[in-house]
A and B are shown apart, each in its own frame.
Chain A
Amino acid sequence: MFDVVRVGEHGLIGEVIEMHQDQASIQVYEETAGLGPGAEVYTTGAPLSVELGPGLIENIYDGIQRPLNAMLEMSGPNITRGINVEALPRDIKWEFEPTVEVGAIVQGGDVIGTVQETVSVVHRVMVPVGTGGRVEEISKGSFTVEETVCVLVDDAGRRIDVTMMQKWPVRRGRPYKEKLVPEMPMVTGQRVIDTLFPIAKGGVAAVPGPFGSGKTVVQHQLAKWADADIVVYIGCGERGNEMTDVLMEFPELKDPKSGEPLMKRTVLIANTSDMPVAAREASIYTGITIAEYFRDMGYSVALMADSTSRWAEALREMSGRLEEMPGEEGYPAYLASRLAQFYERAGRVIALGSEGREGALTAIGAVSPPGGDISEPVSQATLRIVKVFWNLDSTLAYARHFPAINWLTSYSLYIDRLMPWYAEHVDKDFPELYQKTMIMLQEEAELQEIVQLVGQDALSFADRLKLEACKSIREDYLHQNAFHEVDTYASLDKQYMLLRLIINFYELSLDAIRQGASYQSLIQLPVRESIGRFKYVSEEEVPTYYKNIAEELERDVRELVSKGGSAE
């Protein structure tokens, strides 16, 4: 089962997915036009595997790890069939720097040396899983991925040649020593995510939403700004131009941490919607296996899959061809368990090896529910697994409120676990601020219902002030322009300060109203416009800007209190 085969005169790549006595069903990863009875099938005797080693970063692969750039050179701008390309470049010589000495005892997962793969990424060469022994030879110098860099002698006295390249079957999770509970947030620079619905390093999140609600932009933003060491981006059954966008933009954008181009830490898997369906099914496994490999090196890896619905549809298409009994909406009955298996490969782990390296794999899957209705099977199966749910809302998207994450229906189950981290690393008030914001937004929804019925004038000034403050939270805080050069990323400190200002405005004004200040003049305070502009202030100027506004705010409100309620 699951052996890779070559089919027909073109040598199309396929995989055995079912066997009945002397018959086997083969899923072919390429267009099958022109095949007929009598075509020859050869087995390669190995399951579908990916090549792991230096050369992965900055590359763009199709669903079965064929490098698209190499294919472009071989066959021109359109993908022809039966192309056989090596996943890792064989001609590049990498500078191998040993980190162990001759005579050292190593086991599977131990790092024996490093390669500076790109300016941002040090590739740690590990002893393949399941081997180990005493280092007999190890040498510094330039090697290709196929050349032996180290020779081990195991307990039985056998010599094992270790190269920089390993292979691993994609449908099997890479082993680790121990799985840990996530307890650190993955900072994304997106205010609504970091403050209200944070995701932990090693966590799983889902972004469902109808078309046009900005799923892909959210995914791109996370791929750009998440504080991960490595990003694996899987474009699974999506638009070709979106992948082109990533390909053209990532080399230009700078990582806020290292200052190097984002592409230097990114691996792309692109199986666009017009590419063969079967390879789409394989693409998310290819992606997560590569992600696990970097996790095992001790890195924090973020994996984005856009979109898992297309993957599920590929599964459905093949299930239909196999004439399996369909479950809900024609999806196979094993849809939920396959999805769960995929997401469960994420997590924070102690990697194999004697050093106890800690790595994390964070998985974020986009879901494209038909008609935006999340009662459909893929969304429901996903929601049962993930801990973070960013619900994209088409009404918000139509009002061009982006990211269109609905703050009332979304949730993050990591919030309790992460709040102590925020209190320690951002500000001790942060958890309190978070609570206040969430309560206010909830109350706003209730007040809005009343306003719908009886109009705003029927509300007390305190309630109207709350509405104003919430409007400010929505427009000045939660709304974030991904295409604005400054606003696209906000550090946690900036997020905290901005939210602090808005909440301060609310609380000070509330006090002022109780002391008789005029509501109209409070909401027309010019300082509010400065708060509105806060998000466009660059990170360096933020602390002074914050200080000035905070002082101005307090002074202005105090003045109004002393003037009293003259206007009303």
Chain B
Amino acid sequence: MIKEYKSISEVAGPLMLVKDVEGVSYDELGEIILPSGEVRQCKVLEVNGPNALVQLFESAAGINLLDSKVRFLGKGIELGVSEDMLGRVFDGLGRPNDNGPEIIPEKYLDINGLPMNPAARDYPAEFIQTGVSAIDGLNTLVRGQKLPIFSGSGLPHANLAAQIARQAKVLGGESNFAVVFAAIGITFEEADFFISDFKRTGAIERTILFTNLANDPAIERIATPRIALTAAEYLAFDKGMHVLVILTDITNYAEALREVSAARKEVPGRRGYPGYMYTDLATLYERAGRKKGFEGSITMIPILTMPEDDKTHPIPDLTGYITEGQIILARELHRKGVVPPVDVLPSLSRLKDKGIGRGKTREDHADTMNQLFAAYSSGKQSKELMAILGEAALSDVDLLFAKFADEFENRYVSQGFETDRSIEETLELGWELLGLLPRGELKRVRDEYLDRYLPAALTEISAHHESELIDDRKSCSLEDGEA
């Protein structure tokens, strides 16, 4: 029998103290029945003798100490899941929000999930073609990876995420693909951008949306990503789908976490965020992946806005330590009109090495990738030097690198939000750009690949534009030839 308690003794912010309870356990789900008959959800944070400290998932407005009742349900928060959820919109706690019918759940799942046994994981190694050169060519995304987008206020991260969701595919064959989208404390307009983009492209049919908007209760946000991931796990591991999870914006989630922590008067870590934020974020991010013996996978793209574009702020910092790389957007590139403004040098995909190469993309992918990185980095340095000392102070090779850096930004990175480049196009473009440099500088590429791929790029270029620079490079390669 479920007991109802009328012994709420304190309500403060998102926390509530219930006295004289019996048989209540840690992390248990509770329901608060307001005098009006409205029911709200809450969770047990602490049980101290007969007192239970409870965290609300919704606003505390309207709770009064005398007439409100609490009952504990003897289980954690669960989400009823079903395949019918595809194409529907839910609120931040998983209740239908689109005037559609209730979902008839196939089963109920605990939203906290369980840690995945490392021995049961299957290593992500399947290349996902996003059609974005800066990602496919240099920071390759693979199935089962968690790759966040580090952005700032005012940068077009939503467009990039929508582009990835729209274009992402695995080479060689259609497969069962779905998107789970969780809006965590973002504005109506931003959420609407995604929804209308999904509708425009028809992707909505295979998408589940969870929306907790900026004016919804902040503490609900603690549950929203977990609910979304539970739905994703169901689709991936019960239904064998390949699920792309987009969580936006993690910064709002972390702030909700801080709100609860502050209300509990915990010892704060950096910038007031709780000391356990790393572990807490890890329990979200680590739910991405593949499992041995299961068809489906969860690929996760969390989006976070870095306060003041500061990468060392605790939220991006801890995220970077958990996720397998990051795509960083830069304000400077955005202002220059580079679309998408991906700053490739600090961006990174840790799993790229297993997802590229012969049989996956192309044998020369790894070498060209390293070479493009190295060349772009030298090019940026040359440009800095040029800004201080003027062009005359640079050696010929440095000038070539500087030119390379410009071309790289304008042609390779900047492709617009509508262009869908195949991996071959991306690689060819890379070779074309590397053709700007003398062959002797291409130390990161194996000779055999230089022989096979570089000349093709070479003729293509000289056909396109004849310039002094090219002559310069030719004379260099001539010398090599003599040796």
Residue interface mask B108-150, A partner, CB < 8 A = 1: 0000111111111111100000000000000000001100000
A320-B266, A452-B388, A524-B479 known; A272 vs B373 contact (CB < 8 Å): no
Query: What's the least CB distance linking A400 to chain B, in Å?
Result: 4
Query: What's the least CB distance linking B263 to chain A, in Å?
Result: 15
Contact of B312 among A32, A71, A370 (CB under 8 A): A370
Contact of A35 among B26, B49, B325, B440 (CB under 8 A): B26
User: Closest residue of chain A to B348, judged by CB?
Assistant: A212
A310 to B293, CA, bound (A): 30
Query: What's the least CB distance linking A239 to chain B, in Å?
Result: 7
A79 touches B116 (CB 8 A): yes
B483 contacts which chain A residues (CB < 8 A)?
Answer: 526, 529
A277 touches B276 (CB 8 A): yes
A371 touches B317 (CB 8 A): yes
Tell me, yes or no, whether B76 is within 8 Å of chain A by CB. Answer: yes
Query: What's the least CB distance linking A111 to chain B, in Å?
Result: 32
Tell me, yes or no, whether B15 is within 8 Å of chain A by CB. Answer: no
Residue interface mask A72-85, B partner, CB < 8 A = 1: 10001111100000
Report the interface size for chain B: residues with CB under 8 A from the other chain: 84
A455 to B398, CA, bound (A): 12
User: Closest residue of chain B to A317, judged by CB?
Assistant: B276
A240 touches B116 (CB 8 A): yes
Query: What's the least CB distance linking B428 to chain A, in Å?
Result: 21
Query: What's the least CB distance linking B309 to chain A, in Å?
Result: 13
Query: What's the least CB distance linking B455 to chain A, in Å?
Result: 18
Binds B, one of A18-26, A45-53, A90-98, A241-249: A241-249
A240 contacts which chain B residues (CB < 8 A)?
Answer: 116, 118, 121, 286, 289
Query: What's the least CB distance linking A242 to chain B, in Å?
Result: 8
A64 to B123, CA, bound (A): 24
A483 touches B353 (CB 8 A): yes
Tell me, yes or no, whether B2 is within 8 Å of chain A by CB. Answer: no
User: Closest residue of chain B to A213, judged by CB?
Assistant: B348
Residue interface mask B33-77, A partner, CB < 8 A = 1: 000000000000001011000000000000000000000000010
Query: What's the least CB distance linking B322 to chain A, in Å?
Result: 6
A239 touches B286 (CB 8 A): yes
Residue interface mask A35-77, B partner, CB < 8 A = 1: 1111100000000000000000000100000001101100011
A210 contacts which chain B residues (CB < 8 A)?
Answer: 312, 320
B317 contacts which chain A residues (CB < 8 A)?
Answer: 211, 370-371
Interface residues of A in 378-400 (CB under 8 A from B): 394, 398-400
User: Closest residue of chain B to A77, judged by CB?
Assistant: B120
A313 to B321, CA, bound (A): 13
B312 contacts which chain A residues (CB < 8 A)?
Answer: 210, 370-373
User: Closest residue of chain A to B125, judged by CB?
Assistant: A248
B324 touches A241 (CB 8 A): yes
Residue pairs across A and B with Cβ atoms less than 8 A apart, 23 shown, are A33-B76, A33-B112, A34-B28, A37-B50, A77-B293, A78-B113, A210-B320, A235-B118, A237-B278, A239-B324, A241-B123, A241-B144, A241-B289, A241-B324, A272-B282, A275-B115, A316-B269, A316-B275, A370-B312, A371-B311, A399-B345, A399-B373, A529-B440
Chain B interface residues toward A at CB < 8 A: 23-28, 47, 49-50, 76, 112-124, 144-145, 266-270, 275-276, 278-279, 282-283, 286-287, 289, 291-294, 311-314, 317-318, 320-322, 324-326, 345-346, 348, 350-351, 353-354, 366, 370, 373-374, 377-378, 385, 388-389, 392-395, 440, 443-444, 446-447, 479-480, 482-483
Chain A interface residues toward B at CB < 8 A: 32-39, 60, 68-69, 71-72, 76-80, 210-212, 216, 235, 237, 239-241, 243-245, 247-248, 270, 272-277, 310, 313, 316-317, 320, 326, 329-330, 368, 370-373, 394, 398-401, 451-457, 475-476, 481, 483, 524, 526, 529, 532-533, 536
Nearest 7 A-B pairs (CB), nearest first?
Answer: A371-B312, A526-B483, A455-B393, A36-B25, A273-B282, A33-B27, A77-B120
